[in-house]
Amino acid sequence: MRLLLRFFGFLFAFGTILFLVGVGAVAGLVWHFSRDLPDYSQLQDYEPPVMTRVHASDGSLLGEYAKERRLYLPIQAVPKSVINAFLAAEDKNFYEHGGLDFYGMARAAMLYAQNFGTNRRPQGASTITQQVAKNFLLTNEVSFTRKIKEALLAMRIERTYSKDKILELYLNEIFLGLNTYGIAAAALVYFDKSVNELTLSEAAYLAALPKAPSSLHPVRNRERAIERRNYVIDRLLENGWIKQADADKARKEPLIVGKQNVAHTFAGEYFAEEVRREIFERYGEKKLYEGGLSVRTTLDPKLQVVARKALSDGLVRFDELQGYRGGIQKLDLSGDWGVKLADIKSLSDIGWKMAVVLESHDQSARIGFQPPRELGGAVSKERQTGIITLDGVRWAKAASGPTRGKAPAKVSQVLEPGDVIYAEPLTKDGNKVDGQYRLRQVPEVSGGLVAMDPWTGRVLAMSGGFSFDQSQFNRATQAWRQPGSSFKPLVYSAALDNGYTPSTVVVDAPIEIQMGNGQVWRPENYSTGKYYGPRTLRYGIEQSRNTMTVRLAEDIGMPLIGEYAKRFGVYDELPNYLSYSLGAGETTVMRMVTAYSMFANGGRRIKATLIDRIQDRYGHTIFKHDQRECRGCTAAEGWKSQPEPTLVDRREQVMDPMTAYQITSMMEGVIQRGTATSLKEVGKPLAGKTGTTNDEKDVWFVGFSPDIAIGVYIGYDKPRHLGRGVAGGNTAAPIVRDFMKVALADKPAVPFRVPAGIKLIRVDASTGMRAGPGEGGRTILEAFKPGTAPPDNYSVIGVADADGRGGWGGGDGYQQQDMGRSIMRPGTGGLY
């Protein structure tokens, strides 16, 4: 008996020693691996990379910028059904265990033993907390050491953070394929829905993705994806979290991936890219792609669509007048033409379809359209064809060769089999002709358009070219071009601000300017050889007379004009050469529209902006464009019959409001009687100025209504002659007309506001003299400042020219050349 007791005592002592040794070994291991564990306390202040989202003025999504597509969603905003789906798929005991699921480990070990040698995938045993430890604090290294550290961190995380906090970190960090991180971004990318709009079937699919997102692609691996989704649905049912009927319905639902609505860009790619560049310059790359900024832009989606269409139609209209240059390239039609055509890059943002000519005859040609690619990248097997008849190619006169300029008599003269082209449905009387298409050609000419709120500088619409897919160069902001005569209103504004009136008379006649290096500059009017003698400043603007403008600039001085150009932001520095009074310097459409906006708003300085405000990831406003003070806007106690809120505008007055109205009135005449009469079709009060540069390389129109300022420039990216007779009035102005007809369609015809102090006096439009009682003919109401008035009589005092020859005899249409310098004659009210 004693021997037996000693034996048991020995066993107990030995067991105790082994236990203590085991405990010591485990403690040693824990101590060893705990020494270099990452600091898990950083999870408390963790800020994941979140994508920046850019919205239009109405809140519609314009663009997203991120290296990892992620939207951070608090756990309180995640529906219970979505949480249950991820728990069923990943860790059903999440709310019971302390970081390690020992029951799950045992179950996984038993299943592994049962399935050993069957090539079936082992069931994982990592808890959600362990996955958080691995994803946030460790690497993806497959090793025993990493698993121990993962387990130790999981237990410490559980002791430090609540279950909801751990789950929130997991649901926002997990990679779910297609460059999406977190459930909010995945819901948008896969189903184009917010998380609370997901169905049970969709939530189950997202919950299935963490294990192997690439092998569960909804198109390439549809059957496997559906199988895994149904597995998650079965686990939900097994856990009692859904009903049998709900599970049966969810399993039967097809896996349909929602296509993201590409129309949300509103043809605003140039606008969005300009916003991206501004954010990058303002805050840097990290803030742009990881900062989770919410950017509210100034873009008006409806006006943006109108702007894009007006510019594109204008470019195409001009290009088609130059003739058809031939197909994009030749395609070998042997074999499957669809696969070959799919390999050619087509422009995705122009609304036309790429096609290849399959057959060509005298009266028609059969074309085959570029087949789409499926989500997995494979070319669709569907082949769509159409017909181009003679009606679809009538515009396509030859651009070169012996038949240049001749309209085609046969379709086969234009199209040959193998030609790769663009086409769009043929329309007659506004209706599509079934099965017939019209030949299209990507224009060589390009241009830019900016539409702005003249009172605030908010850019309402912007188009930087025909196709952003073709060229990301923004011609509205990055193309520096000569504005030509569209610069003249600044010259005339400087004069009006310094004692001149719209009725001041300047001679329209040839003039010579000594350049100082022995050379002589002889500026000419656009209508070479035509001069009209003494004319009013109004006439000089309306008919865009170059010699009048040079004489005026010579009299008031180029330094003054340069100061105005800088004040209005057109040029940073303007050289003191008279040629610059005709717009010889280079500027951008954005700068010109900003300057004209100051005419429209009564001379207040504005700064162009594409962004209204920017908020950080926490909703704090970090930038706001409108800096005007709003008095009474923050009444803490509600409405108590106090005065209504008022905006305090401290912006600089860059021009006398009366001068702004005078130049506006003169530019109204450009549209009513001058070089841009095509805009009369709009039927609303408009003012503006055309511009055409030397050798007709660039053409412009910049103008405004009381509420919208707009500018358009047209020219080749590598400047060259646009064509004989091409001018701002017949090329750029019609684009503005098309835009304004739609933009102002539902707005009343509000006249430009006449500032206090302005006197409207009826004058003779030709002479600028006061109109007599009952005098008919060409009389207009002219704007005069206090202390000024039109002259009561008109006389021309002779001025000797450089050779001592006689002066002017006066009269309309007088074309005698006067090479002398124009001088002011006191008492006559005119410049001669």
**Phi, psi for 680 (deg, rounded to 5):** -60, -25
Q: Do 830 and 506 meet the contact criterion of CB atoms below 8 Å apart?
A: yes
- Sign for the pseudo-dihedral over CA of 131, 133, 137, 141: negative
d(CA 705, CA 679): 11
Q: Which DSSP category does 728 fall into? A: I
The active-site residue out of 81, 90, 542, 544 is 90
Identity of the amino acid at 212: A
Pick the closest to residue 54 from 321, 311, 361, 279 (CA basis).
279
**Phi, psi for 99 (deg, rounded to 5):** 120, -30
d(CA 489, CA 663): 7
Identity of the amino acid at 732: A
**Phi, psi for 530 (deg, rounded to 5):** -105, 125
3-class DSSP state of 545: coil
Q: Do 187 and 198 meet the contact criterion of CB atoms below 8 Å apart?
A: yes
The active-site residue out of 446, 485, 503, 705 is 485
Phi-psi region of 725 (alpha: psi -120 to 50; beta: other; left: phi over 0): left
d(CA 422, CA 430): 20
Rg (CA), the chain: 37
Cα dihedral 762, 768, 774, 776, rounded to 10, equals: -100
- According to DSSP H, which parts of 522-643 are helical? 537-542, 546-556, 558-567, 589-600
Q: Do 544 and 527 meet the contact criterion of CB atoms below 8 Å apart?
A: no
Instruction: Indicate if 485 belongs to the active site.
Output: yes
d(CA 663, CA 697): 27
d(CA 150, CA 695): 73
Neighbours of 510 (CB within 10 A): 18
Cα dihedral 712, 718, 719, 724, rounded to 10, equals: -90
| Residue environment code for 387-396, b if the CB has 16+ CB neighbours within 10 A, otherwise e | bbbbebbebb
Q: Do 363 and 390 meet the contact criterion of CB atoms below 8 Å apart?
A: yes
Q: Which two tokens stand for residue 44?
A: 């408390």
Extract the runs of DSSP E, i.e. beta strands, from 555-680.
611-615, 621-624, 629-631, 646-648
CA 681 to chain centre: 29
- Sign for the pseudo-dihedral over CA of 674, 677, 683, 689: negative
Write the CA distances from 57 to 224, 298, 725, integer angstroms: 42, 5, 40
d(CA 832, CA 822): 5
Looking at the annotation, which residues are catalytic? 90, 485
